[in-house]
């Protein structure tokens, strides 16, 4: 899953970056990546802020940007048709602001200091508020409208920039625009509070050793213990999955699921329901029928009805496949509980795991021994290096925000020049962002006569090492790693000239497609030979295990995609209804209708559904929508997943383009024809 936080929710540009002055040692294109003297550290993204410094820097940079916009207006009055002094200046001011402030907001998700995390979130809220303020300025909008583009690239930039303003209501009377701006400010604050609540949640469940029957010892070893010797299990995804998929006792599974689905439960449920009403009011004021119509305007889907038709068209196609999967789980449950008549929510992960072990002879603990994290990363770099014609090099003695974090440079193979940097922050810790995401930190863009060096970071919560065992990744985590690294490549190998249109700043219902396509790599023998190696012997994953994994993958596709439908339809339902809505009741109804499983009582899943307040509201459908294109793009490799020619074409036609062309055209240019849904349906085994 990728949940990239959108900095300016109501602008077309997705602004990311790092302050130039925070680069204590900016490296040249071919400079060695080692310190020149002992104690000299290489810093791209700062993390050693003192108390109050993030707040002060954030305020100062926003103030400077506000002044720059004032100067832009003055220049535009003197030369209203001058594209450089209007649209290009507007673009540059935003990009410079993002380069100065986004690493400050990033600390909210990654800093080890609670006070700095608070400051990071406060900065994010201030930045979003400033974005709302600027999006409502008619003087800025009017200054941009009269500019005359000089080429097709500038035409694209102007049209996308103006669309952002027009979706923000710049055609409204001043009084109505002021009301919309006020609503957006409230919405921005509500979304920020929701995200912070989730990040700061420290929910745990205490279990006895007996309660944890079935949970592998290597997982139990990770848990802290209380004064009585009982085990404290957090609701971080790694701990949660370890118990939910392995604990033999239903009461244990139910307890951990209940805790997981009640993180920030009451507070976040209220915040989300407040946000839904605010969004409805904003959409109505802007002349849209629903918030879904507002959000899809300018995306591939274009309207909320198109999305609903797409999702509903899959319900019937997936119904039987899901029913078959649930029945298999029920049969497995009857082996342990002969009188069982139904699958409960806390059964799904557990019996899926049991079926993998029994029917498909799969053992996740055994499989993970073939995926030591360092082996996976070395193999992943080799695969992406071959495909994309780049090299990856660890930066020695890099200045990072936690000892587990590593920094790398991406070099062009042809001339060894450094074209980008990225970080990996892979293990869970208190206060850290709780899922897996690719955060862009410096946007790619033309600066003077050269191109900036983009910077991004993977933030994940993979299985950590123990005192006597290295980090051993599950195959799901390996798949997630390939997915998130695909985002990193999208963000860092971009060649689009403008920050607002570069990297993964594409239409949101396409942005997942490039990474979803790359998930296929970890199901291929050729690739698994490269990225696997037993922790003791170094032997790659055996063919016999891969065959069993492929069979198991097909087994739960019906449930998996039906679960995605549940999330997508819940999202679209709450964002197409009128008046106050119960997000819990809506989710429970859709969940039971589509999955045929009674939802957990007194749970607040929607309070934990960060996508709804992190930029994917009325947009979660994009995960399935984009997978249609991902499946079609995958056909271009014709079975050879290390085809350098196709890989290079993928880099040039998909990764480098950003949002400089409509996404449908980008896909057509890569596959050489109009896309179809044939490959997607074939993958699911449906007609």
**What's the 3-state SS for 126-190?**
HHHHHHHHHHCCHHHHHHHHCCCCCCHHHHHHHHHHHHHHHHCCCCCCHHHHHHHHHHHHHHHHH
φ, ψ of residue 632 in degrees (nearest 5): -70, -40
Largest CA distance in the chain: 83
The answer to whether the CB of 108 falls within 8 A of the CB of 123 is yes
Marked catalytic residue, from 484, 512, 656, 663: 484
Quote the CA–CA distance of 104 and 53 in Å, as a whole number: 10
Contact 125, 67 (CB under 8 A): no
- The sign one gets for the Cα dihedral 360, 363, 368, 370 is negative
CB atoms < 10 A from the CB of 63, how many? Answer: 11
Residue 339: DSSP 8-state = T
- Name the strands in the sheet holding 406-412, side by side, starting at the edge strand that comes first in the sequence: 390-394, 406-412, 418-425, 455-459, 437-442
Q: Determine phi and psi for 186, rounding to 5 degrees.
A: -65, -40
For 549, residues 6+ apart whose C-beta sits below 8 A from its C-beta are: 360, 362, 367, 475, 523
The DSSP letter of residue 28 is -
CA distance 272 to 604: 11
> Is 484 annotated in the active site?
yes
- DSSP secondary-structure letter at 612? G
Closest CA to 322 of 556, 166, 658, 511: 556
Positions marked catalytic: 484
């Amino acid at each position: 899953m990728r949940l990239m936080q959108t900095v300016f929710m109501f602008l077309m540009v997705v602004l990311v970056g790092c302050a130039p002055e925070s680069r204590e040692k900016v490296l040249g294109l071919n400079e060695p990546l080692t310190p020149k003297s002992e104690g000299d550290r290489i810093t791209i993204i700062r993390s050693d802020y003192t108390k109050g410094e993030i707040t002060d820097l954030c305020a100062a940079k926003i103030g400077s940007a506000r002044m720059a916009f004032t100067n832009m207006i003055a220049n535009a009055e003197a030369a209203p048709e001058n594209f450089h002094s209007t649209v290009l200046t507007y673009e540059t001011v935003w990009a410079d602001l993002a380069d100065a402030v986004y690493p400050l907001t990033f600390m909210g998700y990654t800093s080890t200091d609670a006070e700095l995390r608070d400051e990071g979130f406060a900065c994010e809220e201030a930045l979003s508020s400033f974005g709302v303020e600027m999006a409502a300025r008619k003087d800025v909008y009017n200054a941009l409208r009269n500019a005359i583009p000089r080429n097709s690239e500038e035409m694209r930039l102007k049209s996308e920039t103006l669309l952002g303003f027009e979706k923000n209501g710049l055609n409204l009377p001043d009084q109505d625009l002021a009301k919309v701006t006020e609503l957006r400010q409230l919405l921005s604050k509500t979304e920020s509070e929701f995200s912070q609540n989730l990040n700061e949640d420290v929910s745990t469940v205490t279990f006895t050793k007996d309660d944890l029957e079935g949970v592998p010892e290597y997982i139990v070893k990770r848990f802290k213990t209380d004064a009585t010797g009982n085990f404290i299990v957090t609701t971080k995804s790694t701990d949660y999955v370890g118990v939910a998929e392995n604990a033999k006792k239903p009461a244990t599974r139910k307890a951990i699921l209940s805790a997981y689905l009640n993180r920030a439960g009451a507070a976040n449920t209220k915040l989300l329901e407040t946000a839904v009403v605010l969004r409805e009011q904003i959409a109505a004021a802007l002349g849209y029928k629903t918030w879904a119509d507002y959000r899809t305007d300018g995306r591939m889907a274009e309207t909320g009805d198109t999305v609903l038709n797409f999702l509903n068209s899959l319900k019937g196609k997936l119904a039987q496949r899901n029913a078959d999967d649930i029945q298999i789980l029920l049969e497995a449950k009857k082996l342990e509980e002969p009188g069982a008549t139904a699958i409960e929510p806390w059964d799904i992960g557990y019996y899926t795991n049991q079926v993998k072990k029994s029917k498909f002879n799969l053992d996740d603990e055994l499989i993970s021994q073939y995926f030591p994290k360092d082996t996976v990363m070395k193999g992943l770099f080799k695969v992406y290096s071959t495909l994309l014609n780049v090299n990856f090099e660890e930066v020695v003695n890099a200045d990072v925000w936690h000892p587990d974090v590593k920094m790398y440079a991406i070099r062009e193979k042809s001339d060894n020049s450094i074209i980008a940097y990225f970080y990996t922050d892979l293990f869970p810790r208190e206060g850290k962002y709780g899922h897996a995401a690719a955060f862009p930190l410096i946007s790619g863009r033309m600066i003077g006569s050269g191109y900036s060096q983009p910077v991004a970071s993977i933030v994940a919560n993979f299985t950590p090492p123990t005192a006597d065992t290295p980090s051993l990744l599950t195959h799901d985590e390996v798949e997630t790693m390939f997915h998130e690294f695909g985002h990193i490549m999208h963000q860092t190998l971009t060649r689009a000239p403008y920050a607002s249109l570069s990297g993964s700043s594409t239409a949101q219902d396409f942005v997942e497609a490039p990474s979803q396509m790359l998930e296929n790599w970890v199901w291929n023998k050729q690739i698994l030979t490269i990225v696997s190696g037993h922790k003791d012997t170094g032997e790659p994953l055996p063919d016999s295990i891969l065959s069993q994994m492929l069979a198991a993958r097909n087994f739960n596709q019906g449930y998996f995609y039906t679960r995605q439908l549940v999330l997508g339809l819940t999202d679209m339902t709450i964002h197409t209804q009128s008046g106050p809505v119960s997000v819990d009741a809506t989710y429970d109804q859709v969940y039971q209708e589509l999955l045929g499983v009674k939802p957990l009582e007194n749970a607040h899943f929607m309070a934990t559904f960060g996508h709804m307040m992190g930029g994917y509201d009325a947009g979660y459908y994009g995960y399935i929508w984009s997978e249609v294109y991902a499946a079609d793009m995958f056909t271009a490799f014709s079975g050879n997943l290390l085809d350098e020619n196709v890989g290079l074409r993928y880099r040039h036609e998909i990764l480098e383009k950003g949002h400089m062309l409509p996404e449908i055209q980008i896909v057509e240019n890569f596959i050489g024809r109009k896309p179809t849904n044939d490959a997607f349906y074939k993958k699911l085994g449906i007609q």
